[in-house]
Structure 1
Amino acid sequence: MSAFRTLDDLPPDQRVLVRLDLNSPVEDGVVRDNRRFSRHAETVAELAEAGHRVALMAHQGRPGRDTFVSLAQHADVLAEHAGVDVDFVADTFGDDALEAVRDLDAGDVLLLENTRMTDDELPEREPEEHAASDFVETLAPEFDAYVNDAYSAAHRKHASLVGFPLRLPSYAGRVMQTEYEANTAIADREFDGNVTMVVGGAKATDVIGVMEALDETVDRFLLGGVAGELFLRAAGYPVGEDVETDLFDDQWDANEETIRAVLEERRDRVLLPSDLAFEGDEGDRAEVAVDDIETKERAFLDIGSDTVADYEPVIRDSEAVFVKGALGVFEDERFSVGTVGVLEAIADTDCFSVVGGGDTSRAITMYGMSEGDFSHVSIAGGAYIRALTGEPLPAVELLVRSAEADSSG
């Protein structure tokens, strides 16, 4: 049983304020569809079909960036996925927004303007401060309930995430519910067999923290990406340095001591790449064994085929596999071998599996795999890291507080 309430606990005929995370890539002013729309569409459709009057909040980009745009396009994309009309008002909590909210009938869905276009939203403040903001105090009285479905933003202390639960009875949407349950499984569940974590991506600092936090839980770590090279560097190989990139040296300086300590204490549990892939002189994929590398002269863009072959039996022998980050630049088909090979090995097993970390999950659909072959595919980045390391998620804590407050009267 969850520590917070879900849509199963929501009374009928409610005026519901819902927080989603529809933050998306923007190219030439056009908002690109992504998996967040399809996932959140399930919550939106369920609320609309139940006859609630639904107003949605979401953010897009940050002030000063090219991705900081209106949510007008988001309404159309979301409507297509949800199979219901989604109206849009270019206002967050002013007169136009309030009028549109009051005009909602049963089953109507309205998307409010980008929450980050109000000054009250972005400052990282305590929930009580946010609850007293004009944004929250103006909008909250228009609703009977608040639903937070934005698990991927749950690590933020922003007004739309932590202010409203202090003003309204609060519930978790379906994305919040499923993400929380799957991503905390590594800490909350007991597995009889081996637990394996695949560690990759570009942000080595994040995953090194995960490796430390999960020392008692994870039996084996399979490394690739930037973290893989940095650990190879600690093991004495001439890699993990910046050549045509700026990913390695700063992260090495910040984490060298920790990387060396992890490697020394857990060397038998940390599997490092035995070969790496790079772009050959003819523009093709080329591979080299790490033992044969004398100096790093070009960027390595993937783990090699031998490494994939080394990792596959480890995965097949696992009861649970958690993925954090890609093992190579999978967006380029030439360098998708590592990420796809490992994901396919996971999909072929009956293990409990969670795939998360930024864009890694995109590789599943990009290369013809099915999300149904994995226990859970996360759309979260920062919140996924926090869940794995056991750090608190403020927005989740507020949902728990709301449930406890109501149950105690």
Structure 2
Amino acid sequence: MFNTLDDLPPEQRVLVRLDLNSPIEDGVVQDNRRFERHAETVSDLAEAGHRVVLMAHQGRPGDDDFVSLEGHAAILADHAGVDVGFVDSTFGDPAIEAIRDLGAGEVLLLENTRMTDDELPEKEPAEHADSAFVSTLAPEFDAYVNDAYSAGHRAHASLVGFPLVLPAYAGRVMVSEYEANSAIATREFEGDVTMVVGGTKATDVISVMNAIGDKVDTFCLGGIAGELFLRAAGHPVGRDVGDMALFDDQWEKNHETIEALLEERGDGIELAADLAYEDEAGDRAEVRVEAIDEKDRPYLDVGSETIAVYEPTIRESDAVFVKGALGLFEDERFSTGTVGVLEAIADTDCFSVVGGGDTSRAIEMYGLSEDDFSHVSIAGGAYIRALTGEPLVAVELLKTE
């Protein structure tokens, strides 16, 4: 499927694309799972004696998180166990000079790719291959490694231009993410397949449900999508209240699809039996869905009765895929749904994929171990596209068959 790092000839000059896009607080990049994951690719290349030059992006022009990658180099070095140099140039003379000065086993991080005008426009790969960015850097290298699966749906120069002009290889993250995230479309499971669906981006997860419904035996719903499905089932929820504007617009865009899914796959869609909210004393309270006459407050999690129904379904599954949190898990009062599902998965020996940065954060926050899951994805939009079977342009360019 891919040529990997194990296929690289010795002593190569290697250009590597990572995805180090991370939260920025007060102008300072924050450590996260992406650095840890990409460190394996970086350290493997350095230990093999290659000359390693890294590219990555951070934010977009005009946004608060559009900053230099200088701070990223230090964090990556800590995780990889190798020195990571930095040059504040992407493909200018300082970058070229620093690249040519590299010795075997040394690592250099170039400046934010999105600080060059050639990077961001969505173009055909052949157009990007002809850009000054690609045509200037490519002659300095023997090979290109793409490890940025989570950006694989972007037709940006650093992702799709270099594979046309250099021998292309998949990094460790690219291989593991591809295999896990495409499993629902490519693997056959002996038992039931369950998908836990939540989060705030209901439009995304509803498109996944519509695309792969025939591959999933049971959907367990929470989050915004869960309330929208309850609304379609005739309950007075799934509507905006107060300052919250998450439901009505997504309902208008998706209600026909939701209604069709309930009609066609109703037996395979488990809806919340109860919901949790903040009471007047600031505590968690729960109410059965059937007892709700009108929505007069935000609901911030599924209830305990709901989790008691979802857990046996998960424990009896051969495979479980998670996309989105079932509640506002960052607030411990409303973590019951998300953590309950993750604990149930962790207690089984099923094949499991937890996707999306927000949901995967709950694993660390609540003391669970990544080792109890088959794969914890660092991809967001790319994970959605993989689940729906949509090709990822930068990934497709790496394939050898």
Same fold flag (TM > 0.5): yes
Separation in 2, partners of 1:246, 1:83? 45
Could you report, residue by residue, the CA deviation over 1:196-231 in whole angstroms, capped at 9, with x for unpaired residues?
Answer: 000001111011111111111100000000000000
| Structure 1 CA distance for aligned equivalents of residues 277 and 41 of structure 2 | 43
Q: CA deviation digits over 1:161-192, x for unaligned, max 9?
A: 00000010000000000000001111111011
Rounded Cα–Cα distance in structure 1 between residues aligned with 2:103 and 2:382: 34
Q: Specify the alignment match of 1:90 in structure 2.
A: 88
Q: Which residue identity does 2:47 align to in structure 1?
A: E
Q: What residue in structure 2 maps to residue 253 of structure 1?
A: 252
Match of 1:276 in 2: 275
Shift of 1:352: 0.3
Residue in 2 that maps onto 1:343:
342
**Which 5+ residue runs of structure 1 have no aligned equivalent?**
405-409
Summarize the alignment of residues 205-354 of structure 1 with structure 2, pairs less than 5 Å apart.
205-243=203-241, 244-354=243-353
Classify the secondary structure of the residue corresponding to 2:120: coil
SS at match of 1:360: helix
Distance, in Å, in 2 between the alignment partners of 1:123 and 1:326 is: 32
Residue 134 (structure 1) aligns with: 132
Q: TM-score, normalised by structure 2?
A: 0.99
Name the CA distance, whole Å, in 2 between partners of 1:104 and 1:316. 52
Amino acid paired to 1:233 = R
Instruction: State how far apart, in whole Å, the 2-side matches of 1:284 and 1:90 are.
Output: 50
Deviations 1:237-280 (A, max 9, x none): 11101113111110000001001110111111000000011111
Q: CA RMSD in A?
A: 0.7
Counting matched residue pairs gives: 400
Q: For residue 195 of structure 1, what is the aligned residue in structure 2?
A: 193
1:107 is aligned with what amino acid?
G
Distance between the aligned counterparts of 2:81 and 2:328, measured in 1?
34
CA offset digits 1:268-300 (Å, max 9, x no partner): 100000001111111111111100111111111
| 4+ aligned runs moved over 2 Å, structure 1 | none
- Name the counterpart of 2:143: 145
- TM-fit CA distance, 1:358: 3.1
> Aligned equivalents of 2:392 and 2:304: distance in 1?
38
Cα distance in 2 for partners of 1:347, 1:375 equals: 9
Q: Which residue of 2 is the match for residue 102 of structure 1?
A: 100
- For residue 173 of structure 1, what is the amino acid of its counterpart? G
SS at structure 1 position matched to 2:214: coil
For 2:294 and 2:157, the matched residues in 1 are separated by 50
2:215 aligned counterpart, secondary structure: coil
Q: How far, CA to CA, are the matches of 1:279 and 1:58 in structure 2?
A: 41
- The separation in 2 between residues aligned to 1:43 and 1:152, in whole angstroms, is 15
Map of 1:117 onto structure 2: 115
C-alpha distance in structure 1 between counterparts of 2:93 and 2:329, whole Å = 47
Per-residue Cα deviation, 1:21-78 (whole angstroms, up to 9, x for no partner):
0000111111111100000011001100111000000000000000000000000110
d(CA) in 1 for partners of 2:190, 2:155: 37
2:369: which partner in 1? 370
SS at match of 1:171: strand
Shift, 1:8, TM fit: 1.1
